[in-house]
Amino acid sequence: MSEPVLRTENLTRRFGGLTAVDNLGISLAGGRVHAIIGPNGAGKTTFFNLVTGLLSPDSGRIFFRGRDITGFKPHVISRLGIKRTLQVKSVFGELSVADNLWITRQARHRFLHPFRPAARDLEAKLQVEQTLEQIGLADLAARPAGTLSYGDVAMLEIGMALIAEPSLLLLDEPTCGMSPAETSRAVAKIRDLARTIDIVIIEHDMDVVFGIADDITVLAQGAILASGSPAAIADDERVREAYLGRPEDEDFVEEAAHA
Amino acid sequence: MTRRSLEIGMAVGAATFLVAVPWLIPALTDNFWVSVITEILIWSLFASSVNLLFGYVGLLSFGQALYFGFGMYGVAIGIDHVGLSFWPAFGLGIASALAMALVSGVFAVRLSWHYFAIITVVFSLIFYFLAVSMKPLTGGDDGINFSLPPVFRLGGSVFSLTDPTFQYFFVLAVVSLCFFLMYRVINSPLGKGFLAIRDNDLRASLIGLNVYVLRLIAFVMAGFLAGVSGALFAFFGRYASASYMFYQVSGEAVVWTIVGGAGTMFGPLVGTTLFIVIREIVSSHWEHHSLIVGLLAILAVIFAPKGIVGLWNGWMTRLGERDAAAPAKPRLTLQAEP
């Protein structure tokens, strides 16, 4: 693949005096799982917000498969096939789990029929049922999403990303708040997805990162500190000093994750 | 009794009652109540326009009276100044409300929450004062009185709203049709899009919904409901007046909707019925009847945040769960039936 799936040029975003993303030039090749790691405040989520149009950059450009998407509205970017999950889990709380998936599926269409009964759309209904099976929430289909446990909401978010059939999926700490069993289920799901779609994942859980990523980019203070294969990143002195700490020092990573 | 049979029973009961009103009411009480029920139907349609925005899209509008007023004036000016017959005047009322809703919606739905509420009030105040001052067109405070053209002629007979029974059925038919249309919209893909935006507009934009356009569509639809109710009210009262464009009228519809149950199909009907019946019964004995309105609104917000219909739905859900749980019991335990 010659054209990277996602590329930025001199991307900068400031909040007052703080430069969250600083002249960032990132280029992510297709067909691989990219992980973005870095201490809190490194600009990871801001980077996602810029790519998905929730924020507009102060300067710089963003290209999705060679197309300049800088300044596009979030729903336009979403319809181009870039879907994301949010760090603070975010679903439609008063809609049922099934309806959350259903509307996510429908939103791919430009036109929402104003009079046809929603229940008559059998294609979407089938997709919803399949996705419910895949994410293991079939038993909770009729429950309002706002009453789910945190781990189940995180799973539902992955399901919503799935059912939209994205071409690029941005996952912002997808396993945060999941139990170990849920985490391994989610990791398996993400690996499975990676075979057909491009994935960029922000994650603090190093087991997850080293378990799925083909490439790792380390951000610090809005700029790239290092990037390369997981093995190269794990061996990189600067990264170890700045972020990972000593391998056996789990507490340090934990602290970084919750700082 | 299961939840479903209870609900079907109530729906059939309510429909039978509404159809029987012109004969039932004179048999039981004063004829005057037929016209009160006609008025309740019209105002509940108006409250539905608040409900569509607040209950289903999450936009609290304090300015729906503006579109009600445009519906009214469209009819009154059409008949009195332009000399239109019944249906073109009805159409003019609805079209002016739709146009006004589109123009103000383009600006209003960019905002959300209190900013949205404020801009809707501002729009309705601007046009209220315009209507009061443009006396040659609107009649100002006195309004416009007009005489009713016939609805249609069939053979030799003329059907006109001057016949209270015909008027009642005409209003019932129009209001039922609007409720049916709203029901279809709420249960359509578009309606689910509305609900998604109400729940979480950020998420809605991330899954690819154009939040601005969907809110605008909802705003124009709500303008349609308010416009139809305003046009009906003009026919019902044979006049139009700027006083119905005042924001207090909008505010009443908000209270009716919230007490009845925002986000439920029939909440506005229940709330409107409650308050108009209270007003009709109490106002002849006690001039401060709006105190009761305030008290009920406060009680509803504290004890029934989803309104009377929401409270009812909660009971029904529990009833449904009990129904579902009951047959499962023998399978769960090995104990003998008591």
Question: A103: Cβ–Cβ under 8 A, 6 or more apart, which residues?
Answer: A92, A95, B189, B192, B193, B195, B196, B207, B209
Residue spans per domain, chain B: 3-325
Q: Which tokens belong to A84?
A: 């994301």
Residue A34's domain comprises 6-258
Using a CB–CB cutoff of 8 Å, tell me whether B210 touches chain A. Answer: yes
Q: How far apart are the first and last CA of chain B?
A: 21
Does residue A42 form part of some domain? yes
Let me know: does A206 contact A41? Beta carbons within 8 Å. no
Number of domains in chain A: 1
3-class SS of residue A30 = coil
- Chain A residue closest to B195 (CA)? A95
Q: Are B260 and B270 contacting, i.e. CB atoms less than 8 angstroms apart?
A: yes
- Considering only CB atoms, B203 lies closest to which of A90, A94, A99, namely A90
Parallel, antiparallel, or unpaired for β B144-145 and B239-240? antiparallel
Nearest by CB: A92 against B189, B196, B208? B196
**pLDDT given for residue A17 in this prediction:** 86
Question: Which residue type does A147 have?
Answer: T
Contact: A112, B206; criterion CB under 8 Å: no
Q: Which of A214, A125, A126, A197 is nearest to A162 (CA)?
A: A197
Chain A residue with minimum CA distance to B199 = A92
Smallest CA–CA distance from A117 into chain B, residue: B188
Whether A117 and B204 lie within 8 Å, measured CB to CB = no
DSSP letters for B266-282: THHHHHHHHHHHHHHHH
Q: Is residue A196 situated within a structural domain?
A: yes
Task: Determine contact, residues A186/A178, Cβ cutoff 8 Å.
Answer: yes
The DSSP code sequence of A235-253 is H-HHHIIIII--TT-HHHH
Is B187 part of the contact surface with chain A (CB cutoff 8 Å)?
yes
pLDDT (tens digit, 0 to 9) for every residue of chain B, 338 residues total?
577 788 888 889 999 999 988 888 888 888 889 999 999 999 999 999 999 999 999 999 999 999 999 999 999 999 999 999 999 999 999 999 999 999 999 999 998 788 999 999 999 999 999 999 988 888 887 889 888 888 888 777 888 888 889 999 999 999 999 999 999 999 999 999 999 999 999 999 999 999 999 999 999 999 999 999 999 999 999 999 999 998 889 999 999 999 999 999 999 999 999 999 988 888 888 878 778 888 888 888 888 888 999 888 888 888 777 766 665 444 443 444 44
> Per CATH, is B3-325 categorized as 1.10.540?
no
Amino acid in the structure at residue A76: V
Does residue A209 sit within a domain?
yes
Separation CA B66–CA B178 (nearest Å): 19
CATH number assigned to the domain comprising residue A81 = 3.40.50.300
Can you list the positions of beta strands (E) in A175-256? 198-202, 215-220, 223-228
| B186 alpha carbon, distance to own chain's centre | 15
pLDDT by residue (tens digit) across A164-219? 889 999 999 888 878 888 888 888 888 888 888 999 999 888 888 988 999 999 98
Predicted local confidence at residue B22, as pLDDT: 87
Indicate the pTM of the whole model. 0.87
Nearest-by-Cβ selection for A114 from B190, B198, B199? B190
Residue A1: inside a domain, yes or no?
no
Query: Is residue A249 domain-resident?
Result: yes
Among chain A residues, the shortest Cα distance to B201 is held by A92
Chain A CB contacts of B210 below 8 Å: 73, 75
